[in-house]
Chains A and B, each alone.
Chain A
Amino acid sequence: MSTASTDGARAHARAQAAHADLGTPATPAGVDPNALVWAESVPAGSHTTRVLGRGTRLRLADPDGGACAHLLLFRADAPWERLNVADTMTVPWQAYLGAGHPLISDQGRVLATIVVDSSGRHDTLCGMTPAGQQAMLLGALKHGLDARDIAPSLSLFEGVRVAETGALEFTGTAGQATAVEILIHLPVVVALTNTAHPLDPDPELTPLEVLAWRADEQLSTPVNDEPEYLRALFNTESTWACAQNH
């Protein structure tokens, strides 16, 4: 197909999508396809971002066992409020992420809660490689943010444990077909990279699957009943109520 003319170039451009394989992840069992709002496969080394509304359920999956999802959250309506990884550990008195773990902002609110975790190999301590930081920066720049907004991140699907001496042990992946699901409590910019864990001695990255669907009804039941979590929910809910016109 000649691309010497605009007609030829247009035909060439338009012919490409018909044969493309997006690798779009399948809708999970039990999820209404009509409620699905996002389905994307993020290849090794790449990044993706999206504004997610309150009441969205975000599913990050590692089908092939080599993904490493680095995650940042910013409040979409006030992006100077962001995920605070230190408070995400100290508020629930827990360094290791898992089901029930709140993702806390620097303003004492729960931006999101992990509700499902079939991996158990995650990390809040080590952040990203320089390549991961660069990918995350590109995602952030698209939302008017910049390097100063790239705060400490958390990572999913590659684990780290701390010995009594404080030494870090890289525990790697839990294997194929694991997933983490996160309930979003306030409108957020979610920024994700699928890049190596800095302690991974031999990263063999595979695609990261991203799915999201409406799950507003799940906001009405607290994910856990710990006092710190309930106070974080109170701060989140009262902030949301204050910002509404009705």
Chain B
Amino acid sequence: MTLTTDTHIVADEIVAACAPWSAVLRAGQQLQIIDLHGNQAVDTLFYGVRGDTPDPNLRYSAQATVAAQGNIFLTCGSVLRAADGTALVTIVADEVGNHDTIAGACSKESNTLRYGHHTLHQHACAENFLAEAARWGMGKRDIVSNVNFFMNVPVEADGTLGIVDGLSAPGKSLTLRADTDTLVLVSNCPQINNPCNGFDPTAVRMVISQS
């Protein structure tokens, strides 16, 4: 028997600015998310997969994840969990830090509250999530608080929180390892009213590898 450290690329795809994307990671596979142009929020949800079908009862829980690690920020070592504590994916490399999971996804409806009713017909992450989830047989009930990779949301001492300028830069990346077969559902955030995308949504690169 020969031990090998060879890694082969399973997929290498560009997610266009403002677009949805999804893929199933098999247990042990890794996903590198590369912020090609810098400060691009990548809104992401995870669902355990049984066979080839996502299990909506085994979806990502921001609250279980935050409570288990005792910290709101995601970075290398963070285990992203379902509500029952099941580990879905683990962040195994991170060049940025402080990824958000409390601020949720933008929606056309919440944009009207946050920025005004002139934003009602702008594209938003909730629309991307709904469209992409529907391709997997899931619907609105399955969309919950997500991860916002490369998005910076500090909470100040008095509880004030908000999306501020990002910590990422062109070419920076993070890598996830699937702890179980997991569907990754992404909205490459189209928001243009706050600094989460530097007011200029851009493409990101997704590289799935198998060791």
Chain A positions within 8 Å of B, measured between CB atoms, are 80, 84-87, 89-91, 93-96, 104, 106-109, 124-128, 130, 133, 147-153, 162, 164-168, 198-199, 228, 231-232, 235
Contact = CB atoms under 8 A, between A and B. Distances in A.
B71 A130 contact: no
B112 A95 contact: no
Contacts of A147: 57
Interface residues of B, number: 46
A87 B109 CA distance: 10
B114 A152 contact: no
Q: Which 7 A-B pairs have the closest CB atoms?
A: A86-B104, A127-B63, A108-B109, A96-B159, A166-B73, A126-B67, A162-B155
Given A90-B114, A95-B161, A84 B104 contact: yes
A32 B95 CA distance: 60
A109 B63 CA distance: 22
B170 interface: no
B36 interface: no
B81 to A, nearest CB: 11
A235 B107 CA distance: 14
Interface in B51-88: 56-57, 61-64, 66-67, 70-73, 83-85
Contact of A166 (B71, B113, B114): B71
B104 A235 contact: no
A168 B71 CA distance: 5
A235 B114 CA distance: 12
Interface string B158-171: 11111100000000
Given A126-B66, A166-B73, 16 more contacts: A80-B140, A84-B110, A86-B105, A87-B107, A90-B162, A91-B114, A93-B161, A93-B162, A95-B159, A106-B140, A108-B112, A125-B66, A127-B83, A148-B56, A152-B145, A164-B154
Contacts of A198: 67
B131 interface: no
A148 B57 contact: yes
A127 B102 CA distance: 12
Given A90-B110, A108-B112, A162-B72, A231 B67 contact: no
B39 interface: no
B70 A94 contact: no
Given A89-B103, A152-B145, A168-B72, A127 B67 contact: yes
